[in-house]
Amino acid sequence: MNLDRKSVYTVAKKEFTDHIRNRWILILIIVFIMLTLVASFLAGQRSTSDTTLGGAEETVVTLLSIAGILLPLIAIMLGFATIAGEAESGALALVLSYPIRRSEVLLGKFLGLGGILAFTALVGFGVGGLFITISSGTAQILGFLAFIGLTVLFGLMYLSPIICLSALLKRRVTAIGGGIFLFLWSPIYDMIIFGVFLATSDLSTTQIMQGGSFSLPAWMWWSIGLSPSDLYETTVMKAFNVQQAFGYSMPLPDYLSTGLLIVFMCLWIAIPLLLAYVFFRRRDI
């Protein structure tokens, strides 16, 4: 595939400048940054133990759940109209009348919108990390940067599929529907998996609800491959050796290595993006 880097960069820059000034995106980014700041400040006050992230297991778990909701929302808001909406309005027809390939437009959009997600994660978690470092006194910059990196990947795991849906669906309205489905996919999928687990497990519901320590069957660990939110949370926990979350102690199995989990995350980005290209190339603008 021939790609002109300058064209890709031009589209990426335009997408970034346009969307960073979008009122709703801006509000979400500010909410995200505020929440991470408050969370890291409060948790940072309490943490004393010294682990990989400078003593902030609570902070990481809190940040994880904030990012788990807000980053997919931002990614979906950024991406749902990028092809369906612009094709409907006519903006895309004008851009594609210029000497640029569809692959370059698509990649430029992905990188530009991804840049906004990276910016959000970097500012939100970056300042959060600073708080932790100050309050715990231990500087774990590399570890925290890796955490931010995984969070950016997580955002892209939603950006890539929503661009794919936007390339596939004909109208802006249906693309919004696609976005809602994507946003709810992980929790719905989790409920199904959990239901199957309850139905097949020896453990009683009460035992599970009380928390404590128990191990999950292998198929359940593999099933997270299809849920972007769980993949992200598991990868972070595995990478930073966080074994307790919300009262559950869950030792992560050895066969799920950090590397393997990151490969899964990357597949969630690469496959939908390739599909998006297939749909976009076939599309009448």
Residue type, 177: G
24 versus 222: smaller Cβ distance to another protein? 24
* Candidate ranges 10-18, 128-136, 179-187, 233-241; the one touching another protein (CB under 8 A): 10-18
What is the nearest approach in angstroms of another protein to the Cβ of residue 283? 8
Residue 93 within binding range of another protein, rule CB under 8 A: yes
**Binding positions for another protein, 239-268, rule CB under 8 A:** none
Residue 282 within binding range of another protein, rule CB under 8 A: yes
Distance spanning both ends of the chain, measured CA to CA: 21
235 three-class SS: helix
Residue 51 within binding range of another protein, rule CB under 8 A: no
* Integer Cα distance of 180 and 252 in angstroms: 31
What is the nearest approach in angstroms of another protein to the Cβ of residue 260? 40
Token pair, residue 235, equals 């990868």
* Candidate ranges 11-19, 48-56, 209-217, 219-227; the one touching another protein (CB under 8 A): 11-19
Q: What angle do CA 122, 231, 55 make, to 5 degrees?
A: 55
Token pair, residue 98, equals 């210029």
What is the nearest approach in angstroms of another protein to the Cβ of residue 99? 4
What is the nearest approach in angstroms of another protein to the Cβ of residue 25? 9
* Integer Cα distance of 148 and 126 in angstroms: 8
* Integer Cα distance of 44 and 55 in angstroms: 8
User: What is the torsion angle, in degrees rounded to the nearest 10, for the CA atoms of residue 216, residue 260, residue 67 and residue 29?
Assistant: -160
Backbone angles phi, psi at 284, to 5 degrees: -85, 130
Give the residue, chosen from 30, 34, 42, 94, that forms a contact with another protein under the rule CB under 8 A: 94
What is the nearest approach in angstroms of another protein to the Cβ of residue 32? 19
Residue 18 within binding range of another protein, rule CB under 8 A: yes
240 three-class SS: coil
What is the nearest approach in angstroms of another protein to the Cβ of residue 42? 34
Helices and strands per DSSP (H, E), number in the chain: 12, 3
Q: How far is CA 55 from CA 67, 76, 230, 262, in A?
A: 19, 33, 23, 24
Give the residue, chosen from 6, 46, 170, 171, that forms a contact with another protein under the rule CB under 8 A: 6
Give the residue, chosen from 30, 91, 218, 263, that forms a contact with another protein under the rule CB under 8 A: 91
* Candidate ranges 7-15, 45-53, 72-80, 233-241; the one touching another protein (CB under 8 A): 7-15
Please tell me what DSSP assigns to residue 246.
T
Number of residues that bind another protein (CB under 8 A): 26
13 versus 262: smaller Cβ distance to another protein? 13
249 three-class SS: strand
Residue 10 within binding range of another protein, rule CB under 8 A: yes
Residue 89 within binding range of another protein, rule CB under 8 A: yes
Which residues in this chain contact another protein in the complex, by CB under 8 A? 6-7, 10, 13-14, 17-19, 21-22, 86, 89-91, 93-101, 282, 284-285
